[in-house]
Structure 1
């Protein structure tokens, strides 16, 4: 995997909101994969890489933030719509 590229702070706020409210997200990855998952938390590893932890139908998964293309909340009263992160 390439060297980690931090996410813009303004965009990071959308992930924090999604985790705070436990939104179910349609997640688009830069490699073309797509998944639906509930946002749990963001975290920083000792390597300084940042991750979004989510619950999927298959179990818990961590996604490195620079692998996210876009997120779209699936909740009716979400505080934001589709956000392009890459």
Structure 2
């Protein structure tokens, strides 16, 4: 489960619309722009990411890590527990 500090980094990425690299439990890697947090139709909390002009939802429970694809003063790499 993601702790509050880790969730804050998700919110920061969305607030500033940072380009991020998400690594999932499945081993898949998603490159996109963090847009918002929301819930999917199954009521899972998700990060909404813009990938090639298309918004996709990624459940937070599936995240292993998030890396910023650009320099910023807030974070570089976050590993989720």
> What is the distance in 2 between the residues matched to 1:44 and 1:35?
18
**Does 1:60 find its partner at 2:55?**
yes
TM-score scaled by structure 2?
Answer: 0.87
Specify the structure having the higher radius of gyration (Cα). 1
Quick check: 2:40–2:57 contact (8 Å CA) kept in 1? no
TM-score scaled by structure 1?
Answer: 0.83
**Distance verdict in 2 for CA 1:61–1:78, change over 3 Å:** farther
Give a deviation string over 1:25-70, Cα, whole Å, max 9, x none.
0110010000211000012357542010010016110000000110
Quick check: 1:23–1:78 contact (8 Å CA) kept in 2? no
Q: Which residue of 2 aligns with 1:85?
A: 80
Quick check: 2:18–2:69 contact (8 Å CA) kept in 1? yes
Q: Which residue of 1 aligns with 2:33?
A: 38
Aligned residues: 81
Q: What stretches of structure 1 move > 4 A for 4+ residues in a row?
A: 45-48
Root-mean-square deviation (Å): 1.8
